[in-house]
Structure 1
């Protein structure tokens, strides 16, 4: 997998995510820290360490149960996020909240892409000769409270704030030429839904979103799978 990314800010700011892309392209981790940046880096390192060991068939131990209803690859990234949540909660937030992080881990093996996430970004797939389809959509509380004024982003789900965590996970089949669109923002531009596969370009999507909602900040990622 190859990632292109773009951040857009107006008068309203959104934290810029920390990103890890494995050299072979098999793993992409996107972490947005709401609080101390080093806590986001800690979560990222925990995820990378566990998934790297699991995909290399190294015998790894985990206190968390594998789910039989999802693929092994989805279990790897899900478990990695649970380990990161445990590390952040016990290490930073047990007595009082210091930081929370949004995190997405994407793991590709063969023709399958598995993901696990807490909070943004949302994931959309652009298959050859098809329109954009949502795979996993993250909510932003600012969209629930918004009236006529644009509000700063307010994450609905954060990792590290509680001993348990609500992890969204899944997997999908991909072919050469397919693309994944990652979007962290308060709303999804209507122009995104009408994109044809030949129009899926980082600059084009960015321009469409800025024209539609110039006051709303966002982070956009485009992955060639």
Structure 2
């Protein structure tokens, strides 16, 4: 998996997502920190450690049980997310709330693409046309121009967390769009393969609301 990203900044302040790519795993982690951000490297290290052990069939210690209705990959992404939530809640936010995190983990094994999403970015599959994969709405969603951005869902402020899981079969001709906001410009839905690139996507989105910051990325599966 290869990720190409762009960030559009305005006078409105929105935290920029941080992208971590594992050198040992076909895995990408996207984190957006609302508050202090000193814990990000620790979070990625723990994710990488857990997924690496799970991928290698090493017995991993977890207080969370496997769900029989989920695939193996989705199961360990789920358990990893619950562990990270606990790590932040009992670690960085133990004495007082310092931060919360939006988190997306993307993992590819053979032709299976799996993800767990807590908040943004939203995921869309491009397969001849754009298809929503996992989209959540911000806590205070508003169509009002210049509304201040807020997280969608987040980790680390309570013992339990909510997330979306999914898994699909992909091939090298397909792409995944990651977008930090909810409303895509209408012309984006009609883009054809030749025009589906970050330059066109960014230009379209700026037309929708030039004063709103956003982050976009495209993942391709070509070797």
TM over 0.5: yes
Q: Which has the higher helix share?
A: 1
The reply on whether 1:166 has 2:162 as its aligned counterpart is: yes
**Corresponding residue number in structure 2 for 1:53:** 53
**Corresponding residue number in structure 1 for 2:211:** 215
1:49 Cα deviation (Å)? Answer: 1.7
Q: Give the total of aligned pairs.
A: 221
Could you tell me whether the CA contact under 8 Å between 1:36 and 1:99 is conserved in 2? yes
> Residue by residue, what CA displacement relative to the aligned partner does 1:65-97 show, whole Å, maximum 9, x if unpaired?
111112111112111111110000001224421
> Residue by residue, what CA displacement relative to the aligned partner does 1:167-202 show, whole Å, maximum 9, x if unpaired?
211101101111000000253222221122222101
**Corresponding residue number in structure 1 for 2:152:** 156
Residues of 2 paired with 1:91 and 1:153: CA distance?
Answer: 26
Q: After superposition, where does 1:1-225 map in structure 2 within 5 Å?
A: 1-23=1-23, 26-127=26-127, 130-144=128-142, 146-147=143-144, 149-225=145-221
> Residue by residue, what CA displacement relative to the aligned partner does 1:44-66 show, whole Å, maximum 9, x if unpaired?
22222211221122221111111
Q: CA RMSD in A?
A: 1.5
1:142 Cα deviation (Å)? Answer: 4.4
Could you tell me whether the CA contact under 8 Å between 2:136 and 2:182 is conserved in 1? no
> Residue by residue, what CA displacement relative to the aligned partner does 1:89-147 show, whole Å, maximum 9, x if unpaired?
001224421100000001101111010011000000011xx210000002223433x43
Give the TM-score normalised by the residue count of structure 2: 0.93
Could you tell me whether the CA contact under 8 Å between 1:126 and 1:132 is conserved in 2? yes
Give the TM-score normalised by the residue count of structure 1: 0.92
